[in-house]
Structure 1
Amino acid sequence: MDWQLDRNLKKPLYKQIADFIEQGISTGMFQPESMLPSERILAKELGVNRSTIVAAYDELQSLGIVERKKGSGTRISTDIWGFSHKRIPNWGRYMEDGSFLPNLPFVQRIRTEIRKNNVINLSSGELSPTLWPGEQFRTIFTEHPFMEPLGYDHPKGNASLRQTISEHVSEYRNINILPSSILITSGAQQALHLIVQCLLKPGDAIAIEDPSYFYSLPLFQSAGLKIFYLRVDQNGINPNDVIELYRKHRIRMIFLDPSFQNPTGVSLHPSRRKKIIKISSELGIPIVEDDPYSLISFKDENATTLKSMDENGNVLYISSLSKIVASGLRIGWVIGPPKVIDRLADAKQQVDFGHSIFPQWAANEFLKDPYFDIHINRLKRELKKRRDEIVRRLDEYLYGEVEFITPEGGIHIWCRLKQPFNDKQLLEESMRKGVSFVPGSVYGSGKGYVRFTYGRGETEQIEEGISRFTDALNACKQK
C-alpha cells in the first residue's frame, strides 16, 4: 500500500486509515470483492498497533463498506453499489470535509453548560432579561396593530426601518447617510459573513485586533483568508502597525471594534481614530467597523464612530440592536457605499430571500418610540451598577491576583491573572463550581487572561459568581 499516515494531524490514525480505504474504493483503487491486507500485515506496513487496524476495519464494516469473516479476512463489500445492501453515509467524513469550520471547542463547551440552571452566566455577550424593554414591546404590540404585508420585502430590508435607522444613526452616531446605503441583516454576524463572502477571496490578507472577538469566529478561516494581528493596548490598536502590515502583507481589509472593544473593554483613542481613517484613505484599505456598544457609554457623551469621521466611503459600518435592546430580535445593519450594499443585498437574497418583516416592524416601532431614550439611559445606569459590582468583587476576592482596566462602557471586563493557569482546567473547575467565563485564548491572546461579562448575570449574582470563580482558581492551584 503506497501511502503513509500523517502523524502530525489531529485526526486519529484509525480514522486516517479508514478514510484512505474509503477514498480508494471511490476512485477504483480498491475493487468490489477484493481482499484487504490482513490486520497484522497492514499494521506492520504502516507502523501501527494491530488494534489501530482493527478499529479502522470496524469503522468500515459499520458503514457497510467491507465484509469481515473470521478466518477469511476482510474484503470490499460485494454489493457496495447494489440495492440489497444499505450503506450509511460517513457523516464524520462529510463534517470534516465541509468548508465551514465549527466553533472553537471552548465556545461549544461554554454554550452547552450555560443552559444549566445552576450556572451563573458571566460569559454570554448579551443582556440579561431584566434589561430587555419587554414591557414597551408589549405596549407596541397592543397599541400598534401589525398591518404589514407578509410577502417578500425589499432586498435591502424594509423601507420604513431603513429610513428610521438613517435618522437614528444621524442623531445618535453622527452618521449621515441615505436609506439606500443601509442593508438590514440578521444581527451583526450575518453582516460580517456577507462582507467576507462577497468582498474577499481565499488568500486575501486581513488585519484584526489582538485580542479580538473576531478571532473566535471561524468565518475568516473558512473563507481561506490570511489573518494578521494588530495588538491592542489601553488606547486600542496602534495605527502604525497597520502601515507595517500593509508593507509586509498587502492587507486588503481591517476589522475593528473601536468602542468598548470585545473582549478588552478599551476604546480606540480619538487621535488614533483620526490616524487610522487617514491611513485607510491614503492606502485605499477598507475598514469594517463593528459597533455594538458605542451607545452604552457610562460617560455623558456617546463614543465617536469611525464612520462619522469617514469622508470618502472607506468604512463599512456594522451595528445591531442585540447589545442595546435584545439579542433575540435579530436586527442588525451594515452601512456602506450603495453599490457595495447592492452587492451584499443580492447575496443575502440568495441565502434567505430577505429579512422577516415582523422583527423589522417591531424594531422600527421601538426605534421611533420616545421610550427609546428612556431605555438607553436606564440601560447605561444599570450596566454601570453591574460594572461597579464586578470591579468591587474582583478587588474583594482576587486582590493582588488580578489586573484589569475598568471599562467606561460596554458589557465586558478583561482580566489578567498574575499566577499561571491552565485554560481548560480552570474552565472545567469553574463549570463544576457553577460559574462560566471565557478563557482569553478564545480571543487569540497570550496565556493568563479571562473575560467576564457583567451584562448577562444579574447584579445579585455577580458576587456569588466571582466567589465561585475564586474557589475554582484556588482548587486548580492545589492540583
Structure 2
Amino acid sequence: MHIEIQRKSETSLSNQIFQSIVDHIRSGLLQEGSQLPSVRELSKELGVSLVTVVKAYKELEKNNFTTSIQGKGTFINIEETATKETKKEEPPFNWQLSIQDYLPRAQFSRFHYVSDEIQLSSSMIDPGLLPNRYLEQEIHKMLLENPRILSQYSEVQGDLKLREAMSQYLKQFEIPTTPDNLLITNGSQQGLDLVARTFVGPGDVVVMESPTYPGAIDIFRGRGATIITVPVDGDGMKVDILQNLCDKYKPKIIYTIPTFQNPTGAVMTQKRRRKLLNIAKSIQSIIVEDDPWSEIYFDKKPPAPIKSMDYYGHVIYLKGLSKTLAPSCRIGILSASGSVFNRLLAAKSNADLGSPLLTQKSLLPFITSNKMIDHLKKLRTALKLRRDMAIDLLLKYAPEEISWMIPNGGLNIWISLPVWIDTNQLLIEARRNHVTFLPGSACYPVEQEKYHLRLSFSYMSEQQLQLGIRTMCNIFNAEITSKKKNSNMPYF
C-alpha cells in the first residue's frame, strides 16, 4: 500500500494517511477483511509519529471503514452486502500485500461498467443511439478494399487523413489548429495520462474543480501531485477563488471541464473562460481543457472552448469521440502547440507507439460526411427527452429534502441529499435492487463530501431509466423517513 506524504501540504499528516487509506478501500486496492499495517510499522515506513498514525486509524474506525481488534490488529470492514452464500474463501494470496505498488487511488474503474444492472453510474450513451450499422459496413468495406490494414501500424501521431478531418471538425468550435498540432489518443483518458506522465511529478501543484471527473483525480493522484481544489457553481469554476490560490501557489496544471462539467453539468461563462486563460498566462501554467460532450447541448450552443482564445500555447485541449460515436474504437483528440506538443508526442510513443489504425480508418468516412451532423442532431433530441424524463421523475417521486442541477447538455444530473446521508451506504441498498449510481465522494479530490451522487440518464432505455429513478427515490424516501423517526436532527 503506497501512501504519499506531502509534508508541505496544509492538510495534516494524519488526515493524509486517513484519506489515502480511504481511497485504497474505495478503489478496491484494499480488500474487505485485509489487515492494515500495525501503527508502529506504518509510523516507521512513513517517517511520522505513532500519534499521527493512531489518529488516522481512529478516524478510519469512527467512519466505519475499519475495525480494530485488541491484540490482533486493524482490519478493513466487510460490506453489509456480503453474505455466507456470496462470500467465497479467499485464495492464499495474502503474501502479495508485501509487494509495494504506487497506486494511491483507482476509484473510477469500479463504476465505469457494471453488468446486469440498471446503470445510472456510467456516463455512456445507449448503444441503440449510436451509428453501429453504418460503422459495421465501413469496417467490412475497408477490410475488403485493404485487407493488409490489419498488418499495418499507424503513425505514432495518428493517421494523417483522420488528423486532417479532425482539424476541419474542430473549426466548428473555433479552435485554430492544424493536423500537425493534433495527436490521436486511445480516448481522452489516455490524453490525460500523457499530460500527467509528461508534466506532473511528486509535489507538483495541480488545480482541479471540486467536484470533478473521478478518472482525472485517479491519474493526477497517481503521479503524486499536490491537488488544490476550486469549487464549482452554476457558472463553472470560481475563478476569483482560483486567482487567490494562485497568489499563494503556482500550479503547474489547471484541469477544467468548462462545458457541461462532469459531474455537475455546469457551463463556464465566456467571461470566466477568458479570466482563467489570463490567470494561466500570468503564472505560466498549463490549462488542460477536457471537452467530452460539448456537442450534446439541449438549448443553445455553449461558449467556444478556452482553446479558441489560446494564442500562446497555454491550453492542452482534449476531445473524445468515444462517448458520442463509437466507444469501442477509443478515439480521442489532443490539441497542443510548441514544445508542449512535441513532449506529449514523445510520451505517446513511449506509451504504445500509436493508436490502432483499423479504428481510426473506420471512423474517417463518418466524420467527413454529413452523417456526423445528422447523428449529433438526433442524439441531442434523444438525450434531451431522457433528461426531461429524469427530471420529471425526480420532481414526482424524490423527497423534498433533496435538490439537483438541471443540465443544459451532457449526460449527467448532480443530486444533493441532506448532509448526514452517505451515498456510499445508499449504493449498497441500490445494488440490492440492481441499480447503480456514482457516489459523489468519488468526485472530490480532497474534500470528504459524501452526500452527493451523479445520475447518468444517457445509457439506459426509457423504461429502465424510469424504473431506476423510482427505485432510487424509494431508497431516498426510506432513508429520510427512518432518520426522522429516530432523530431530531435537521434534514437540510
TM-score range, shorter chain: 0.7 to 0.9
1:134 paired residue among 132, 135, 144:
132
**1:314-364: per-residue Cα shift (whole Å, max 9, x none)?**
110001102211222100011001432221122222221211111111122
Partner residue in 1 for 2:471: 468
Q: TM-score, normalised by structure 1?
A: 0.79
Give the share of equivalent positions with the same residue, in percent. Answer: 28
Structure 2 counterpart of 1:127, one-letter code: I
Partner residue in 2 for 1:16: 37
SS in 1 for 2:355: coil
Partner residue in 2 for 1:98: 101
SS in 1 for 2:194: helix
Displacement of 1:472 in angstroms is: 1.9
Displacement of 1:423 in angstroms is: 2.1
Structure 2 counterpart of 1:16, one-letter code: P
C-alpha distance 371-262 of structure 1, shift in aligned 2 (>3 A)? same
C-alpha distance 92-327 of structure 1, shift in aligned 2 (>3 A)? same
Structure 1 unaligned segments of length 5 or more: list them: 1-5, 25-46, 54-86
- Structure 2 counterparts to residues 153-302 of structure 1, below 5 A: 153-170=154-171, 172-214=172-214, 217-302=217-302
Larger radius of gyration: 1
Measured on the aligned residues, the alpha-carbon RMSD in Å equals: 3.0
Q: Separation in 2 of the partners of 1:88 and 1:135?
A: 45
C-alpha distance 216-300 of structure 1, shift in aligned 2 (>3 A)? closer
Q: Does 1:125 align with 2:127?
A: no
Q: Separation in 1 of the partners of 2:410 and 2:244?
A: 30
Q: Separation in 2 of the partners of 1:350 and 1:151?
A: 19
Displacement of 1:178 in angstroms is: 1.1
Partner residue in 1 for 2:10: none
Larger mean CA deviation between 320-329 and 203-212 belongs to 320-329
Partner residue in 2 for 1:326: 326
C-alpha distance 313-474 of structure 1, shift in aligned 2 (>3 A)? same
Q: Separation in 1 of the partners of 2:320 and 2:112?
A: 22
Q: Give the conservation status (yes or no) of the 8 Å contact 1:208–1:215.
A: no
Structure 2 counterpart of 1:141, one-letter code: I
Q: Separation in 1 of the partners of 2:40 and 2:418?
A: 45
Q: Separation in 2 of the partners of 1:419 and 1:48?
A: 30
Partner residue in 2 for 1:312: 312
Displacement of 1:217 in angstroms is: 3.0
Q: Give the conservation status (yes or no) of the 8 Å contact 2:269–2:303.
A: no
Structure 2 unaligned segments of length 5 or more: list them: 1-13, 22-29, 46-67, 75-91, 484-492
Q: Separation in 1 of the partners of 2:473 and 2:306?
A: 39
Q: Give the conservation status (yes or no) of the 8 Å contact 1:437–1:451.
A: yes
Structure 2 counterpart of 1:224, one-letter code: G
C-alpha distance 89-407 of structure 1, shift in aligned 2 (>3 A)? closer
Displacement of 1:141 in angstroms is: 2.8
- Structure 2 counterparts to residues 52-71 of structure 1, below 5 A: none
Displacement of 1:93 in angstroms is: 2.1
Partner residue in 1 for 2:26: none
C-alpha distance 214-248 of structure 1, shift in aligned 2 (>3 A)? farther
C-alpha distance 15-435 of structure 1, shift in aligned 2 (>3 A)? closer
Displacement of 1:301 in angstroms is: 2.8
C-alpha distance 111-178 of structure 1, shift in aligned 2 (>3 A)? closer
